[in-house]
Each structure stands twice: as C-alpha cells, then as structure tokens.
Amino acid sequence: MSERVAVRKTYKLYIGGKFPRSESGRSYLVQSGENSTANVALASRKDARDAVVAARAAGSGWAGATAYNRGQILYRAAEMLEGRREQFVALGITGDEVDAATDRWVWYAGWSDKLPQVRGGVNPVAGPYLNLSTPEPTGVVAVVAPAAPALLGLVSVIAPAIVSGNTVVVAASPTDPLAAVTLAEVLATADLPAGVVNILTGRLQETVPSLAGHRDVNALDLAGVADAELATGLEVKAAENLKRVLRPVPTNHDWYADPGLARMTALLETKTVWHPKGG
C-alpha cells in the first residue's frame, strides 16, 4: 500500500480578516517542522499600508463593542487555541508554550471589563461637579512581535493591545513566522472582527520603518526589535506624530511570568468628563 501524499499548507498574510498573498508576489523559505519547508509571504510596504487601513477601519466597531463582548471573543480565542494545540506542536512549539499562550488569552479576556474599573474612577473635585475618568484605547498599534517564544511572545503582545479596543498591525517574527500565521487562523475562527488583528510576515527592515513613520498609526510596540540602533531610529520616526512607544523587550525576558498590567495600560488614553450638579 502506498503512503498517502500529504496536502501542504500555504502560509499567507492576515489583513482585514482575509488571507492574501503579499501584493509584491514575493515569498521566502522557512523551516516548517523537522523535514519540511514552507514558503512564507514576504510582506511589502504596501502590505503594511493596507494593514493599517484595515486596522483603522476596524477600530470604531471594536472599541465600540461592549467590554463583555470583547472579553467573550478573547476567551473564544483561548478555546480555539486549545483546540489547535497539536497544530502548534507540529510546528515545533512545546506543549507548555501553547498552554501558556492559551492561558494568556484567558487572563486578558477577563480584563476587558475590569480594566476600566481598576484604571478609571470618580475624582472628588472641589466643586459641584461630577468628574469621571475612564480609559479609552489609543487606536491603531503597530507591534513588532518578539522573535521568541514565537507563539507565547506573539499572544503576549497582541492580547493586551486589543483587549481595551485597540486594533493592531503585527510584524511577526521573521525567523519563526509560521506560529503567527497559524495564530491568525485561530483568530479568524474566534469571532474576532476583521481587521482587529493584522499579521505581516517578512523582513522587519521592510515593513516596520513604514509603520513607525505612518501618520495614521497611534502607537508603536518595539517588543521584538533586538537591534538597539534600529529601535532608536524607529522611535525617532514615531516621534513625528507622537506615537506612544513601548521600548524593546530584552531577549532574556521571561514571557512565562505574570504579565501584570503594564502592556495594557501603556496603550490607553484617559478621558475625564466634567458635568455640573444642580437642581
């Protein structure tokens, strides 16, 4: 009996809820498991621009969804990820990492309707006014995913950005992009609205500078930028429209540790409302 010939997967970008090839038509070769390789889309600056457009378009709907609804969707992402555990293991990711990534979705899912309670509140101003501060998402966030751990690192930068209503354009780890594309498949089946998460694969030097300079991007997370000089250059570009910048994360960072609130709160604006009180 002859052995069944496997059907191999095409790894594409994830933009606006769809899985297009790079508009440039280019791809590059990566290892996909022990004995096989895959061609991964090599995103261009135009792909990055399209991704920003998609993220911006998704922004008002996502930020306007109820916190409860966003929490449900993030939890659904955990359910989907748990269900595809073996798929990630086949890519060479340890089971422990997949479990940690799943738990991270659960952790952030619970924050959607609690963050405003922890970060907002009434301010007792000296006068007959109600004065109320509430956190709001900052907008479109460009994220450079950590090179490793490919899955846990990725989830750990995406989830805290989107839980509060931001939308993201993620530059995936160039050396390990398959986890990112596979995660996109998880998100596409988790009821996440199109455009909330957009994932680019390819060379950071190509996509990230254009994201850092893009005037319709509100924040830049440099988590995965290992080259200090590149990071500074990107931060300088980001200064042009005063993007909120998260600096690179040291490569020895323990992504398994309690993530705390910092990555969420860095991507929030605070809005304060005054209203008189009078009969």
Chain residues that interact with other proteins, rule: CB under 8 A: 67-68, 71-72, 75, 103, 106-107, 109-114, 117-118, 128, 130, 261, 275-279
Q: Which of residues 71 and 224 has its CB atom nearest to other proteins in the complex?
A: 71
Q: Bridge partners of 70?
A: none
Question: C-beta of 129: minimal distance to other proteins in Å?
Answer: 9
Q: At what angle do helices 95-111 and 150-162 cross, to 10 degrees?
A: 10
Question: C-beta of 102: minimal distance to other proteins in Å?
Answer: 10
Q: Bridge partners of 29?
A: 39
Q: Which of residues 23 and 113 has its CB atom nearest to other proteins in the complex?
A: 113
Q: Which of residues 64 and 250 has its CB atom nearest to other proteins in the complex?
A: 64
Count other C-beta atoms under 10 Å from residue 125's C-beta: 11
Q: Which of residues 113 and 185 has its CB atom nearest to other proteins in the complex?
A: 113
Q: Which of residues 13 and 186 has its CB atom nearest to other proteins in the complex?
A: 186
Q: What is the 3-state secondary structure (H, E, C) of 252-270?
A: CCCCCCCCCCHHHHCCEEE
Q: Bridge partners of 8?
A: none
- Yes or no: say if 162 and 195 are a contact pair by the CB < 8 Å rule: no
Question: C-beta of 126: minimal distance to other proteins in Å?
Answer: 15
Q: Which of residues 71 and 149 has its CB atom nearest to other proteins in the complex?
A: 71
Question: Rounded to whole angstroms, how far apart are CA atoms 140 and 225?
Answer: 19
Question: C-beta of 259: minimal distance to other proteins in Å?
Answer: 11
Question: C-beta of 114: minimal distance to other proteins in Å?
Answer: 6
Question: C-beta of 266: minimal distance to other proteins in Å?
Answer: 16
